[in-house]
């Protein structure tokens, strides 16, 4: 059963085609990698799926939290997040001057069942809901071992933990589909290994479908069930990690970039 159907989306910036006729189909529960050399258009694909950019062509069908399938074209990012797709950012975009806990609680915002009126007048509902999301937020932080830093400002976390907080924040929106943009960037091999375990853990715990962009081939080949390769905005290959690592087109695209590919 597919939860995401991307059909021929394209986009160009100032006459330059950044992504051409991108297609992708994700099945419920899959973990798929999106790889390709720098500038291949991977993040642009994410931006189109999440509504940050509007594709010039094509359609994106997504089976939302409520079970109905919707075309996402023209929806704003917050609308797409609400129906069950969430993301992290390649160049970390945390709310730097908020605490770790508040970064996560912001993501609960649209699921909170009280309004500004309750907030201003401190109704019972306010206290009940605040207590509830605080507990939930701490639980999520605990999975990623950063719950003890919940009162620190996000900007004061080390880089690796900032990346983890991005994932926690995305999870707090209660997504069906999670898009991770280079989650392991800047991490050392041990941290990357831990992260791989965490990604697999949250996938099964929250029944997630995950699409991830990554340059670290250990991670991609280690946990992805399927890999899509993008080069100059075109999909040049798609298959299992084993198929991809022996695909001559892929090797050619990466030529000169010295990438070790281990199946």
Q: Do residues 82 and 25 touch, judged by C-beta distance below 8 A?
A: no
Contacts with other proteins in 195-234 (CB under 8 A)? Answer: none
Instruction: Give dist(CA 124, CA 199) in Å, integer.
Output: 37
Please identify, among the stretches 21-29, 63-71, 117-125, 213-221, the one whose residues bind other proteins according to the rule CB under 8 A. Answer: 117-125
Q: Residue 103 or residue 247: which is nearer to other proteins going by CB? A: 103
- Assess 124 for contact with other proteins (CB under 8 A): yes
Q: How many C-beta atoms surround the C-beta of residue 71 within 10 A?
A: 12
- Assess 22 for contact with other proteins (CB under 8 A): no
Beta-sheet strands, E only, within the chain: 2-13, 16-27, 31-35, 57-63, 69-71, 85-87, 177-181, 209-213, 226-231, 234-239
Select the residue interacting with other proteins from 56, 115, 156, 188 (CB under 8 A). Answer: 115
Select the residue interacting with other proteins from 3, 6, 18, 47 (CB under 8 A). Answer: 47
Sign of the alpha-carbon torsion through 151, 155, 160, 162? positive
Least distance (Å) between residue 260 CB and other proteins = 27
**For residue 150, what are the CA distances in angstroms to 16, 99, 105, 176?**
43, 7, 11, 25
- Within 13 Å and on the Cβ side, how many CA atoms surround 150? 19
Please identify, among the stretches 20-28, 125-133, 197-205, 211-219, the one whose residues bind other proteins according to the rule CB under 8 A. Answer: 125-133
Contacts with other proteins in 52-111 (CB under 8 A)? Answer: 52-53, 76-78, 81-82, 86-87, 89, 93-98, 102, 105-110
Binding site for other proteins (CB under 8 A): 13-14, 43, 47, 50, 52-53, 76-78, 81-82, 86-87, 89, 93-98, 102, 105-110, 112, 114-116, 118-122, 124, 126-127, 129-130, 133, 169-170, 172-173
């Amino acid at each position: 059963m597919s939860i995401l159907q991307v059909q021929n989306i394209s986009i160009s910036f100032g006459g330059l085609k950044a992504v051409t006729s991108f297609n992708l189909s994700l099945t419920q529960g899959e973990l798929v990698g999106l790889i390709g050399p720098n500038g291949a258009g991977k993040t642009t694909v994410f931006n189109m799926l999440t509504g940050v950019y509007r594709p010039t062509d094509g359609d994106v069908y997504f089976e939302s939290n409520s079970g109905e399938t919707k075309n996402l074209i023209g929806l704003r990012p917050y609308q797409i997040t609400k129906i069950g797709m969430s993301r992290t950012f390649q160049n970390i975009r945390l709310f730097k001057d908020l605490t770790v806990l508040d970064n996560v609680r912001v993501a609960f915002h649209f699921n909170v069942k009280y309004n500004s009126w309750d907030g201003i007048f401190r109704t019972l509902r306010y206290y009940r809901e605040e207590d509830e999301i605080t507990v939930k937020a701490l639980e999520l932080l605990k999975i990623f071992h950063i719950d003890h830093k919940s009162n620190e400002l996000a900007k004061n976390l080390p880089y690796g933990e900032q990346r983890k907080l991005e994932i926690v924040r995305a999870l707090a929106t209660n997504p069906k589909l999670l898009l991770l943009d280079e989650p392991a960037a800047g991490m050392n091999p041990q941290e990357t290994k831990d992260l791989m375990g965490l990604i697999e853990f949250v996938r099964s715990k929250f029944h997630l479908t995950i699409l991830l962009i990554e340059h670290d081939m250990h991670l991609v080949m280690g946990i992805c069930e399927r890999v899509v390769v993008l080069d100059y905005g075109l999909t040049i290959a798609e298959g299992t990690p084993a198929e991809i690592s022996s695909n001559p087109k892929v090797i050619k695209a990466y030529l000169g970039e010295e990438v070790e590919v281990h199946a």
